[in-house]
Amino acid sequence: MEAGLRRVRMAVRETPPCTGVIAGLSVLLPVLVGLRIVHPYWVVLLRDEVFKKLQLWRLVTCVFVKKPSIGLVFSVINRYSFSDSVERTILKRREDYAKFFLYCCLVMGVFGLFGRESVMWNGFDMALVYLWSRYNQTTPTKFLVILPVPGKYLPWSRLAFDLLLGESVVPHVLGIIAGHSFFYLYTQTGLFQKKRIGRGRRPVYKDSGAGYTTRESVQKDAAFLGVGKNVGGGSK
């Protein structure tokens, strides 16, 4: 028991800061909403409240709203794993990751309002998966644990699967749009970084404090592959 608690404490201490905050909010807000300590009305996307009353926090809180259930546990693990991999190997600087998060919230929130979407949990997850996939295009992954899928096809596999299940894919599409536009601006224009190091479709690979890394490092450190399968072979 003591050894297990020690491992948990060590894992918490080693969690990257931005990922720690996002994982914490991904657990805390659904629990507060489920217990009715926080009413869902105050945290979901509502057009009039955002545009007329300027309740801009909804653009952020909407990515942390999800019904408390056993599925929430798997969703948080999935989000944590991709976020951890992205923060450790792609967006190493806190400000880079923070810019990515806020940019995705803005893009998904604004377009989601016009699409009558009130929750963007799946959208932010898809943005994380898409950004990860652009730096891991040849990494073999396991979709649904059993289906081998190259990293570059992982976002589209998840999109097609949810479409077959009859779920709304608007948040997923908005997440891909947010992730792709950030990737382009980050690697091609230098808008979200202090120094532009590379250009072209290839991601930049130099680690000079600007949050870049090598493709090999990204592939080795990728923490989560597909839906329900991690690198170590465990399941959700």
* Domains of the chain (ranges, CATH numbers): 2-194+202-221 (1.20.1540.10)
Average pLDDT of the chain to the nearest whole number: 82
pLDDT of residue 229: 38
One DSSP character per residue, 154-194 reads: HHHHHHHHHHHTT---HHHHHHHHHHHHHHHIIIII-TTSS
pLDDT of residue 146: 79
Other Cβ atoms within 10 Å of 206 Cβ, number: 12
| DSSP helix, strand, coil percent of the chain (3-state; round to 5) | 60, 5, 35
**Average pLDDT value for residue range 209-217:** 39
Other Cβ atoms within 10 Å of 152 Cβ, number: 16
Q: 59: which 2 tokens? A: 């653009």
Cα 56 to Cα 40, 43, 136, 234, distances in angstroms: 15, 10, 34, 39
Cβ pair 126, 78 in contact under 8 A: no
**Average pLDDT value for residue range 32-38:** 94
Phi, psi for 149 (deg, rounded to 5): -140, 130
pLDDT of residue 148: 84
Does pLDDT of 231 surpass 90?
no
pLDDT of residue 233: 38
**Average pLDDT value for residue range 175-196:** 86
Q: How confident is the model at residue 201 (pLDDT cuts 50, 70, 90)?
A: very low
Angle, alpha carbons 174-175-176 (nearest 5°)? 90
- Condensed to tens digits (0 to 9), the pLDDT of residues 128-185 reads 999 999 999 988 887 777 788 889 999 999 999 989 988 889 999 999 999 999 999 9
**Average pLDDT value for residue range 83-90:** 95
* Gyration radius of the chain over CA positions: 18
Q: Which residue has the higher pLDDT, 68 or 2?
A: 68
Cβ pair 19, 84 in contact under 8 A: yes
Does pLDDT of 26 surpass 70?
yes
Residue carrying structure tokens 């803005």:
106
Cα 138 to Cα 81, 150, 155, distances in angstroms: 19, 6, 14
Does pLDDT of 109 surpass 80?
yes
Element (H, E) at 150: strand 147-150
Other Cβ atoms within 10 Å of 53 Cβ, number: 10
pLDDT of residue 90: 95
